[in-house]
Amino acid sequence: MSTRTPKEGETHNLVRLATAANPFQAHIWQQALQEEGIRCQVLGDYLDAGIGDIPGIGAEVWVEAGDLERAEKTLRQHQDRIEKATLLDEKP
C-alpha cells in the first residue's frame, strides 16, 4: 500500500465519495480504499446519534478530487464482492 504524506502547506481538494449507513461501514470502505492506495478520510463517525426526532449525521467518506473516479470504481467493486458473498451465504 502506497500512501503519500502531504507536505506542509500543501492543499487538498476533498470531495465526498459516499455516506455510509453507519460508522462501521464507513471505516470498512476506508480500509478498502486505502488498500488500493487511495487516501481518504471518514468524517462524522461520531455524529450518527440523533436527539429525539432529529436524526444524526451519517459518517461520510471523503477523497481527493483527483482520486474520485478511481475511488468510485473501487467502492463499487468492494460492494459487488460483499453482495456476492452474501448471496452465496444465503444459498441452502
pLDDT recorded at residue 23: 87
Q: Is the pLDDT of residue 14 over 80?
A: yes
pLDDT recorded at residue 10: 56
In a domain, 37, yes or no: yes
- Quick one: which of 27, 34, 33, 26 has its CA closest to 3? 34
Mean pLDDT, residues 28-46 taken together: 93
Structural domain boundaries enclosing 80: 14-90
In a domain, 7, yes or no: no
pLDDT recorded at residue 49: 57
In a domain, 60, yes or no: yes
In a domain, 47, yes or no: yes
Give the total number of structural domains in the chain.
Answer: 1
56-60: long-range contacts at Cβ-Cβ below 8 A with a sequence spacing of 24 or more?
Answer: 58/19, 58/20, 58/21, 58/22, 59/19, 59/20, 59/22, 59/23, 59/25, 59/26, 59/27, 60/16, 60/17, 60/18, 60/19, 60/20, 60/26
The CATH number for 64's domain is 3.30.70
Cα separation, 6 vs 15, in Å, equals 17
